[in-house]
């Protein structure tokens, strides 16, 4: 008897324009069973339109939730990588900040017609700019570091001095050497 009452309820809901999925959830039977019960009920044009609109709205909501979850996962990954980077780099001295600034200027910057900016749109540069913009104290520290024109103009001696500290990787030293050789001030 109970099954018969649920079948009648399913048919009533279908005549009202509910989807097979909605009806199956409501009466507690499978979609296949509900579909068999309601297979001879024809929906009018407005009912079909309402079903389509509800399905579209549900799809839109599911897509929004998916995008939010992907955004959250991406933000978590960014934060994790940022923390790993901070941990790997450690504290930077004023000298380190100065050297990084000079290296960035040589490698990435341009000055022309009273304008200046970054020639390369690399993620490294964008990340560095975000770091500095969120920690203005870094700019203050770098701004108070006195700029002194280097007395040593020999590229080989400068690289040897950096190498002697054993603080810098071979890749960094190669890049520094290439940057120094491009300058008119330093001599090869």
Q: What is the pLDDT of residues 68-100, one digit of tens each?
A: 999 999 999 999 988 888 888 888 777 777 777
Angle at 81 between CA 63 and CA 177, to 5 degrees: 130
**Residue located via tokens 């002194």:** 148
187: helix, coil or strand?
strand
Query: Helices 170-182 & 94-108, crossing angle to 10 degrees?
Result: 60
**pLDDT tens across 99-157, in order?**
777 676 666 655 566 665 555 555 555 666 667 767 777 767 766 766 677 788 888 99
Tell me the pLDDT of the chain averaged across its residues: 81
Share of the chain above pLDDT 90, in %: 29
Specify the DSSP element, H or E, that contains 19. Answer: none
Contact yes or no for 63/36 (Cβ under 8 A)? no
Confidence label for 173 from pLDDT (cuts 50, 70 and 90): confident
Cα separation, 114 vs 126, in Å, equals 22
Q: What is the 3-class SS of 88-121, one letter each residue? A: HHCCCCHHHHHHHHHHHHHHHEEEECCEEEECCC
Task: Name residue 110's beta-bridge partners.
Answer: 117
Contact yes or no for 96/102 (Cβ under 8 A)? no
How confident is the model at residue 30, as a pLDDT?
Answer: 93
Contact yes or no for 183/152 (Cβ under 8 A)? no
């Amino acid at each position: 008897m109970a099954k018969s009452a649920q079948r009648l309820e399913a048919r009533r809901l279908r005549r009202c324009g509910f989807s097979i999925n909605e009806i199956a959830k409501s009466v507690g039977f499978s979609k296949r069973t509900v579909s068999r019960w309601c297979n001879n009920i024809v929906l009018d044009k407005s009912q079909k339109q309402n079903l389509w609109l509800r399905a579209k709205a549900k799809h839109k909501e599911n897509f929004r939730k998916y995008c939010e979850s992907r955004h959250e996962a991406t933000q978590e990954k960014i934060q994790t990588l940022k923390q790993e980077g901070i941990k790997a780099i450690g504290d930077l001295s004023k000298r380190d900040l100065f050297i990084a600034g000079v290296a960035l200027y040589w490698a990435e910057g341009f000055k022309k017609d009273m304008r200046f900016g970054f020639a390369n749109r690399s993620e490294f540069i964008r990340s560095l700019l975000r770091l500095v913009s969120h920690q203005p104290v870094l700019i203050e520290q770098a701004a108070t570091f006195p700029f002194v024109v280097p007395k040593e103009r020999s590229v080989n001696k400068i690289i040897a001095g950096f190498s002697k500290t054993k603080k810098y990787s071979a890749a960094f030293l190669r890049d520094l050497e290439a940057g120094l050789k491009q300058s008119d001030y330093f001599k090869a």
